[in-house]
Structure 1
Amino acid sequence: MRVLLIGGASGIGRSVAAEIVGRGGEVILGGRRADVLNDAVASLGPQASSVVVDLTDEASIAAAAAVEVGRVDHVVGLAADHANGPVAELDAADIRKAFDAKVIGPILVAKHFASIIADGGSLLFFSGVAAWKPATGLSVMATTNGAVAFLASALAVELAPIRVNAVSPGIVDSGAWDSMGSRKGEFFAETADSNPAGRVGRPDDVVSAVLYALTNTFVTGTTLHVDGGGQLV
């Protein structure tokens, strides 16, 4: 299995990359910062490589597809660029960056990479629970994540037989919440108390969903919710 992970140099993406490599696969890590990519590649070993891809720059995406990456089995898009805060205080440039990362960029990835995805391959994009559980200050996140789910369905029809799916994680202890400091434990406890699953997510919960989406050739146009039932409450 040869997989391009865009935005896969850290967090959940890094965990996905490590699992694929551990199973004998090959990963290409894509992102904007060569130094971060190189550090991740060094830790993953000889079955990993990197390519600079900027989802705000179509020429960068096109070059990666036409010249640098080569044929792949799957492309996974994990990139995000948040524009959180009250609507009255949002900056237009930040909103556009959020859409570039989650919506426009993935459309351009599909445009340029569909022709080099191997038979039986797929595209997989990351959505998120905010789309199904709106909250004050997260209107842009809810909208972009929701758009990912609809995009997966639309592309699954247009690009068939290439499969296209989405994964929608909930609150996962992936390191993304560490900046909360001492508040993190309280937040996780509150989330666990309200989730039907009774806990927050672990990176391996999402990794297993990603592998399912990549390897089950009868799943397409689907959003896999990996949120402990968080969108239901």
Structure 2
Amino acid sequence: MQLEGRKVIVVGAGSGIGRGVAIAASEAGAHVVLAGRKRETLEATSELMKGPLEVRVLDASVEAEVAAFCEAVGPFDHLVSTVSQGVAGPLTGLGFASIERAFAAKLWAPIYLVKHASSRISPDGSFTFFSGFRAWKPAVGTSITSLVNGGLEAFTKAMAVELAPVRLNAISPGVVDSGSFWDRLGAEARERLFADYANKAPARRVGTTADLAAATLFAMTNPFLTGTVLSVDGGAVLM
């Protein structure tokens, strides 16, 4: 899974899974473009890397920013986006703003990235997006999460046909201990959620950023993998 001499863009590289992917790609020899909304978190990621890199601030849900970003970065080989925005609760109680943020992260951002980056990607390159197991296993209060993840997976498959031979894949994680993403729950609630998931999932644990980074490098470097949703969820869909 070597990426020696390849340029890899990681959108969402400032923390969590995106940070793990960026570090893994760098260790595999890639020139990594760290992209995300907060320069300080991107710089923190860069301090954990030794290979060639660039830091570029980007809000991928804003088309004008994506267009300018792609123009500045130029030709590249692989793009990974882990951009996400959580929204939970019964649909009747959700405000438009929270729904709109979820759509922007999981639908508009991938659309803009593919639209403006596809003319600059190498013919043997790839796009990898992150959906989530709620596309396959909805629960009470996950209607919008299920919708945007399912939409992203459908978009990925459609674009794999449209952009061939450029490859597009999606990775569908389960519950992953990705650091600060879970801080909003508080330590006690987070540990309860992790313990419950580990008790029910066939893998008997929650995921790690290393699990998802390894899957992402596989998706990027396997030349016969396209239009596929990789479930890296510890068996969550079987729970």
TM-score clears 0.5: yes
Distance in 1 of aligned mates of 2:143 and 2:191: 25
* Count of residue pairs brought into register by the alignment: 232
Matched, 1:57 2:62: yes
**SS state of the match for residue 28, structure 1?**
strand
1:1-233 equivalences under 5 Å are 1-45=6-50, 47-66=52-71, 68-175=72-179, 176-178=181-183, 179-233=185-239
TM-score, normalised with respect to structure 2 = 0.92
**SS state of the match for residue 193, structure 1?**
helix
Displacement of 1:118 in angstroms is: 1.2
Runs (4+) of structure 1 moved beyond 4 Å? none
* Paired amino acid for 1:82: G
Summarize deviations over 1:166-202 as a string: whole Å, max 9, x none: 0000011121334431233332222112112222112
Displacement of 1:46 in angstroms is: 5.1
Summarize deviations over 1:57-110 as a string: whole Å, max 9, x none: 1110001111x2121110111111222222111111221121111111101110
* Identity rate, percent: 43
**SS state of the match for residue 110, structure 2?**
helix
Distance in 2 of aligned mates of 1:129 and 1:204: 18
Segment of structure 1 superposing worse, 178-187 or 90-99: 178-187
* Paired amino acid for 2:138: P
Segment of structure 1 superposing worse, 68-77 or 38-47: 38-47
Displacement of 1:48 in angstroms is: 2.0
Distance in 2 of aligned mates of 1:145 and 1:16: 20
Distance in 1 of aligned mates of 2:79 and 2:196: 34
* Paired amino acid for 1:140: I
Distance in 2 of aligned mates of 1:123 and 1:167: 11
Displacement of 1:4 in angstroms is: 0.5
Distance in 1 of aligned mates of 2:95 and 2:143: 13
Distance in 1 of aligned mates of 2:28 and 2:115: 29
| Residue ranges of structure 1 left out of the alignment (5+ in a row) | none
| Residue ranges of structure 2 left out of the alignment (5+ in a row) | 1-5
**SS state of the match for residue 228, structure 1?**
coil
Distance in 1 of aligned mates of 2:199 and 2:44: 37
Segment of structure 1 superposing worse, 33-42 or 113-122: 33-42
Summarize deviations over 1:195-220 as a string: whole Å, max 9, x none: 12222112211111101100001000
Distance in 1 of aligned mates of 2:166 and 2:73: 18
Distance in 2 of aligned mates of 1:211 and 1:55: 22
* Paired amino acid for 1:174: S
TM-score, normalised with respect to structure 1 = 0.94
**SS state of the match for residue 118, structure 2?**
helix
Displacement of 1:113 in angstroms is: 0.2
Summarize deviations over 1:131-179 as a string: whole Å, max 9, x none: 1111222211111111111111000001111100000000111213344
**2:3 aligned residue:** none
**SS state of the match for residue 117, structure 2?**
helix
**SS state of the match for residue 165, structure 2?**
coil
Whether the 8 Å contact between 2:177 and 2:207 is mirrored in structure 1 is yes
